[in-house]
Structure 1
Amino acid sequence: MNRELIEITDPYDERIAPYRDIRERDLVGRQGLFIAEGRVVLNVLFSTSRFRAQSLFLRDNRVQGARDLLERVPADIPVYVAGGEIMDEIAGFNIHRGIIAVGERCSSQTAEELLDSLPENALVVALSAIANHDNMGAIFRNAAAFGADAVLLDSDCCDPLYRKAIRVSVGAALKVPFAQAGKAQEMTALLHARGFDVLAMTPQGERDVSEVSLGPRTALLLGAEGPGLDSGLLEQWPTVKISMREDFDSLNVATASAIALHHIWLKR
């Protein structure tokens, strides 16, 4: 491997400023940038055209094992290397995976543009007020596993490109196209206008999701952990549920999405 590696010995080196105090900076947003970590996620990052890496940062003892990944990194992207103590001081915590990158969006589609780009037979996962990053990442992972064509998010959802959401999704947040679509009512109205049958998931649903007949375009609408979907949405759209014991309330939203998407995937 003839790749030039740039050694970092000063934790305040300005070249690695985007990696400094990762957790705190994630909380306030990165203005179109994001942190990706781990080899699985970075393999996705370097294989998609929707995002690109600005730089790569490796712990020195990870270089040998990352040679196959390094061969895929474009020549114009700098690769920084540091010892464990320096890397952890820069990040503000222990980067035990030892391999992270700063990524950026190459382009951003509107919700209308995204839906218009989908095939006639399409499945969309529509999310309302999903504020937990673990749930967001897991839902994206399930969407990728069961062939969803896109994810729409209302304005009350958290960012799928938050570091933890990307990590939990094992890179699916970088793979499955997504767009924000305003408030939940606006999002579902847009889906309906584009020919999607909206199915609102709730424990009190009218039919089990396994029993629903699917049209060519389906949108599975999921709400926040705990409160679920707004009552106005449940009154407006057909409701579906996952049947379970009557003495138990509900499933985690990410788990529910996996079960529902699996049923839909089998039917499709």
Structure 2
Amino acid sequence: MKTIAVTDPDDPRIEHFRDVQERDIVGRGGFIAEGKVVIDHLLASPRFAATSLLVARSRIAGVQERFAEFPQLGQQIPVYVAEQAVMDRIAGFAIHRGVLAHGQRLSEQAPLELGDGPILVAAGISNHDNMGSLFRNAAAFGVSAVLLDDTSCDPLYRKALRVSVGTVLSVPFFRAGNVRDIFDILSNAGFQCVALSPGGTVHLDEWQPADRVAVFFGSEGQGLPQYLLQSIDTLTIAMAPGLDSLNVSAAASITLHHIYTSKRP
């Protein structure tokens, strides 16, 4: 794999990687993928493309071996190599994984595709760790698409991507308006819509999901809007006394696992 040496942190060729904290990459175009596992998903994605890589010199041997199946690296996609100290100065923090990629969408958001698997709806999810975990759960349990309301954070933030172990780049996701819009879209498409709530009226272990099902998850503070909770079936997860709720990603993993196992042959 052909590489390009970078010795100056101010080299204009690596502008995309400069100061890549989440607040700094917004508005600059594209996104940053961190770590070999995440970059695996980026290189294999039909919806996103890598534009360049920045690798610590001490990690280049492992990267070459890992990415040998992607001949475009070093050819159409430049691979920059820097000493660790230079790389850290470029990025603005210590890059422990030693490899970054800049990626971009191949096109504007595609038309909404719901597929036949379960749909996960993320409403008001503003924490990047939770967003990444939701996508990892979605990938593990066969979710066909994630729908985001217009108040949820961007799954393409570096931290959300890292927590998702790259599954943000493999599970289709769509911005679909506010919660009411999403509910209308899914209901009209014939989906059974349910929501997780501490005050749910149906115990999860007694619930049988329909063939096409969409599950709404809200933020841990505000939760889902009351008008939605009054319009659809609400599920609750049995737990020991003393707590009334779980972290949203934990609740999603339990719920999606229930759906997944109920549909297995």
Short-chain TM bin: over 0.9
1:114 maps onto 2:109 in alignment? no
Partner residue, 1:159: 154
Please identify, of 240-249 and 155-164, the stretch whose mean Cα deviation from structure 2 is larger. Answer: 240-249
SS at match of 1:114: coil
TM-score, scaled relative to structure 1:
0.93
User: In the alignment, is the contact (CA less than 8 A) between 2:112 and 2:174 conserved in 1?
Assistant: no
1:256 maps onto 2:251 in alignment? yes
TM-score, scaled relative to structure 2:
0.94
Cα distance in 1 for partners of 2:85, 2:242 equals 51
Cα distance in 1 for partners of 2:27, 2:243 equals 38
1:207 maps onto 2:211 in alignment? no
1:90 maps onto 2:90 in alignment? yes
SS at match of 1:46: helix
Distance 1:47 1:27, change over 3 A: closer
Q: How far apart are residue 66 of structure 1 and its match?
A: 1.3
Q: How far apart are residue 213 of structure 1 and its match?
A: 1.9
Please identify, of 62-71 and 220-229, the stretch whose mean Cα deviation from structure 2 is larger. Answer: 62-71
Q: How far apart are residue 29 of structure 1 and its match?
A: 4.0
Distance 1:219 1:200, change over 3 A: same
- What one-letter code is carried by the residue in structure 1 that aligns with 2:107? S
- What one-letter code is carried by the residue in structure 2 that aligns with 1:89? R
Please identify, of 139-148 and 68-77, the stretch whose mean Cα deviation from structure 2 is larger. Answer: 68-77
Distance 1:109 1:264, change over 3 A: same
- What one-letter code is carried by the residue in structure 1 that aligns with 2:78? P
Q: Which runs of 5+ in 2 are unaligned?
A: none
- What one-letter code is carried by the residue in structure 1 that aligns with 2:217? L
User: In the alignment, is the contact (CA less than 8 A) between 1:127 and 1:154 conserved in 2?
Assistant: yes
Partner residue, 1:176: 171
Partner residue, 1:13: 11
1:50 maps onto 2:55 in alignment? no
Please identify, of 178-187 and 63-72, the stretch whose mean Cα deviation from structure 2 is larger. Answer: 63-72
Distance 1:37 1:211, change over 3 A: same
Distance 1:26 1:178, change over 3 A: farther
User: In the alignment, is the contact (CA less than 8 A) between 2:35 and 2:99 conserved in 1?
Assistant: yes
Please identify, of 147-156 and 101-110, the stretch whose mean Cα deviation from structure 2 is larger. Answer: 101-110
Cα distance in 1 for partners of 2:189, 2:127 equals 28
SS at match of 1:80: strand
Q: What per-residue deviation string (whole Å, max 9, x for no partner) do you get for residues 3-58 of structure 1? A: 21100011111100000000155463443x11001111111111111111000110
User: In the alignment, is the contact (CA less than 8 A) between 1:151 and 1:176 conserved in 2?
Assistant: yes
1:67 maps onto 2:67 in alignment? no
Distance 1:38 1:127, change over 3 A: same
Q: Percent identity?
A: 47
Q: How far apart are residue 216 of structure 1 and its match?
A: 1.5
Partner residue, 1:217: 212
Which of these residues, 225, 239, 247, is aligned with residue 244 of structure 1? Answer: 239
Cα distance in 1 for partners of 2:28, 2:253 equals 30
Partner residue, 1:79: 79
User: In the alignment, is the contact (CA less than 8 A) between 1:56 and 1:78 conserved in 2?
Assistant: yes
Q: Which runs of 5+ in 1 are unaligned?
A: none
SS at match of 1:104: strand
Distance 1:206 1:24, change over 3 A: closer
CA RMSD of aligned residues (A): 1.4
